[in-house]
Structures are given as structure tokens and as C-alpha cells.
Amino acid sequence: MASVARPWWQRAVLYQVYVRSFADSDEDGVGDLRGIADRLDYLEWLGADAVWLSPVTVSPDKDWGYDVADYIGVQPAFGGLPALDELVAQAARRDIRVIVDIVPNHTSDRHPWFEESRVSRDSPRRDWYVWADPKPDGSPPNNWRGAFGGGRAWTLDERTGQYYLHNFLPEQPDLNWWNDDVRAAFDDILRFWLDRGIAGFRIDVAHGIVKDRELRDNPDPAISTYNANREDVHDVLRRWRRVVDEYAPERVLLGETWVMELDRLARFYGSGDDELHLAFNFPFTFSDLDAGRLRGIVEATEAALPERAWPVWMLSNHDIVRFPTRMAGGDERKARAALFLLMTLRGTPVLYYGDELGMPQADVPAEQQRDMDGRDGARTPLPWNGGWSDPWLPVAADVPPVAVQRDDDGSFLNFARSLIAQRRANPDLVDGAYESLPSPEGVWAFRRGERTTVAVNLSDEGVELDGLRLRPWEGVAQRR
């Protein structure tokens, strides 16, 4: 049967590049855009259709790019805007698209908007951020806590006598998304990148950018009821969707929707085609590698999503422990099983750089750690074959480098590559509906499309299922 014409982002395998650690073209120890361009042959060989770049915009790097000081300028250490344009052009020649990270929740405190905003209470930019008076006793306006250690989400600005809100670091003041000028400014920022041929955006903290207008206390201080997760965020996402929908070929909005209830996750798809194209599924990512549990999450996701919506799955990213360690406990068979699932489920798979090597979480010695939140172990340089001089984080030695794995048919890398190829070659795996099949405990079986049966054994015992023999932690996809 001919397959329906799916938009590129539904057929694609996405690959997240943590720019500082992917490839370093000028040997200053920090990865850069030219480095990525030089490695496009690798990404093409692997089978990546699009790369998502961690933030490349100008930043003082208090939170490694997630504190933006200029939304339309590219970090000089990465090669500046010309290097990005060049990467987009070179990638396009190989049919690889480039998605950029955008950080709308907050700016850097060095962003000119914030510098202007804090000058005085009647600065024209004052209302671009969330300012509020102290309580009569001088304490913060409410009980909101920030991420990174859970300290209070407010910092007093002595000069003007008001507190400003920061859901993350004090150096990351939150923008006020109730202000129409902020909304309009971001429309322009989106257009700036879309006009340059960017294929879409990964939206940082997509669930959190709109706050309670009245700044009410969170009923439970540990739960962000009012400083994130407001329904009003959907107005902003619909607005962004209208902007990207003006562009052809189609562009994609991929949200960091850090919510743990699948029905709430489903809301980020709107009615199926008027909000995010893809909303990251953290319950899946954080699940144990357990057949019953994973099956439950996938079934519930399939049931919750609106009809035209398309799931997206990932195992690792720059904020969490790499999956071969977190999910697979260092057992390579288990890591292969997890990757097998990623590539056989209905939905867009996202690989985090190094996932394809089976790269575990690195043990970064205390004196070499750089991140204030201890996430360095997921961000170490990709081991090409040496290839790094004096890198910003140590290259972890516990996985064979790319050059070695490429030449070894039995390597994790070649396993990952063959899974991607298998997916691409089987339209059921790309397009086909998902349907659970009965299976014994420890095994998860499902059908994709008309003709493909998938089974993965997430247990230590060999099993037999409909004449199919599965070794422990083995997955098989069969097209009849």
C-alpha cells in the first residue's frame, strides 16, 4: 500500500548536537559550527535527517547558552552568524535540516532589554520582565522557588527597590509574556531565523513561559502551579504556530514540555495542528526499561494525543543522565534494546550526540566540572579519535571512539546505524499506526501498520513468541 505523504519532521530522525562538545574545528577546546559542517558526512552516513543545535546565540554562559544576551547574534566562539549560514547551506546540500534552540522564558541579565528594564521603575522596558514590590516586611513578593537548587525565584534589585522574577538563575531574568511587545519581539526573532532557512525551533521551557498574572503563592511551594504550566501558554504557542505556518517548506516547533501527566502533554498539540508539532515526552524518557511500564506510557500517549498529532521520543539530552547509564545501568544489551524501541515506535526519534555510540554518562572529576547544576557528565566531547586538544570538558574514555566503532561491524554505532536504515526501509515503521499485541511478562510486542510486528524482550530470559525466538534484551521487527 502506498504510504501517506508525511511531512519531513514525521519521517525524520533528529539528532541533537551539543555544540560545545560535538566537533572543534579551530582547536580551542570548544566545539563550533564549522566543526559540525566538517562532520556532515558522518551525520549523513549515520542517517540523521535534521540536527537540533543547542543554543548558538550570544551568551555569557552562566547556563551554557540558555542565558541569551542577543537572540539574533551567534556566539563568536562558535563562528558567528556566517558560520551558521554556512552550516545551514552545506547541510541542505545533503538534505539535512538545521533546527535551533530558542529560549523565550528568560534572557541573560546582560541582555540589553534587561539592562534597560532595571534602570528605573518607569523604563519603557520595565514591563518586559516580571517586577514586583517586596512584601511589607521586605521579603519576596510570593513563595515561588527557582530551579537549580530550589532557592527563591526572586532577586531584589537594590536600585529600584523591586524584586525581579527568575525561574532559573538570578542571571536569567524571566520575560513577561503578558506584555504584547515581548510577544511581537519574538515573532520577529522567529522570522529572522526562518528567513535564514532554519527548519524550526526547539523551544526551551515551552510549558513554563507564562506566569500567573496575579503572582499568587503556589499552594504547595514544591509544585510550580503558578510560576509555570499556565493554560495561557497555549495562546503563545498558537501564535508561534501561525508564524511558522507562513513558511514553506514546512518548519517545525519542538517543545521542551517538561510535564509528567500525559493528558497535559497532549494539550501542547492543540487540536492536532495548531500548536506544537512535537512535544517531548518526559514520562517515556524517565521510565525504567520495563516492558509493562513503557508499554503503559506509550499506550497512554497514543490514547491522549489528538488525532493528527505525532509523538516524539528521546532517551537522553543535555540535562539528564545519558540513557546507557540511567536506563541500562551500563549493560550494553539493555542500551541496545532501548535504542531499538526508540527506532521502532510510532513517532519521531531524537538521538542525543553520543547515543549512537552507546556513550555512558561520564564521570567528570569535581575539579573539572563546569556546570552549576552538575550536568557535565552528559555533555563531554564526542570521542572521534582523539580529535580534541585541551577540551573544555574531559573526553570520557569509557566508550570506543567513532573511528574504531565505524570499522567494527558489531559495534554499537553500526547497530544504531542499521536500526535507522531498517526504519527508513520499512514504511510501516515510519508511517504505520501503533497497536499493542499480547505478550508475556517482560516482553513488549506491538504491530506497526499493516504488516510489521515488533517485539522486544526486556528480560534476562530467552523467550519464544509466535515462533519468534528472542534472546534476552533482543528486539526484532518483522515485515510480513
| Half-sphere exposure for 193 (CA within 13 Å, toward CB) | 31
Cα end-to-end span (Å), the chain: 13
Q: How far is the CB of 57 from ligand GLC (least distance, A)?
A: 12
Distance, C-alpha 111 to centroid of its chain: 24
Angle CA 275–281–282, to nearest 5:
130
Phi, psi of 132 (to 5 degrees): -150, 155
Q: Report the catalytic residues.
A: 204, 246
Binding of ligand GLC at residue 355 (CB under 6 A)? no
User: Could you say which residues in the range 173-232 bind ligand GLC, by CB under 6 A?
Assistant: 204-205
Closest approach, Cβ 204 to ligand GLC, in A, equals 5
Residues numbered 101 to 140 that lie near ligand GLC (CB under 6 A) are 103
Smallest gap from residue 64 Cβ to ligand GLC (A): 7
Minimum distance, C-beta of residue 356 to ligand GLC, in the bound complex (Å): 20
CB 15 within 8 A of CB 350: yes
Laid out side by side, the sheet with 131-132 consists of: 131-132, 162-165, 154-157
Inter-CA distances, 360 with 329, 390, 399, Å: 9, 21, 8
Helix/strand/coil for 235: helix
Of positions 95, 319, 363, 460, contacts ligand GLC by CB under 6 A: 319
Count Cα neighbours of 435 within 13 Å in the Cβ-side half-sphere.
11
- Tell me if the bond preceding 136 is cis, omega within 30° of 0: no
168 binds ligand GLC (CB under 6 A): yes
Whole-number minimum distance, CB 206 to ligand GLC, in Å?
Answer: 10
Residue number with CB closer to ligand GLC (66 or 284): 66
Is 376 a binding residue for ligand GLC by CB under 6 A? The answer is: no
Residue 232-271 contact track with ligand GLC, rule CB under 6 A, x = bound: ------------------------x---------------
Determine contact, residues 416/352, Cβ cutoff 8 Å. Answer: no
SS3 of 85, please? helix
Angle between helices 233-245 and 180-195 (to 10 degrees): 30
Q: How far is the CB of 18 from ligand GLC (least distance, A)?
A: 10
Residues 62-101 that bind ligand GLC (CB under 6 A): 63, 66
How many residues belong to the site for ligand GLC (CB under 6 A)? 9
Binding site for ligand GLC (CB under 6 A): 63, 66, 103, 168, 204-205, 256, 318-319
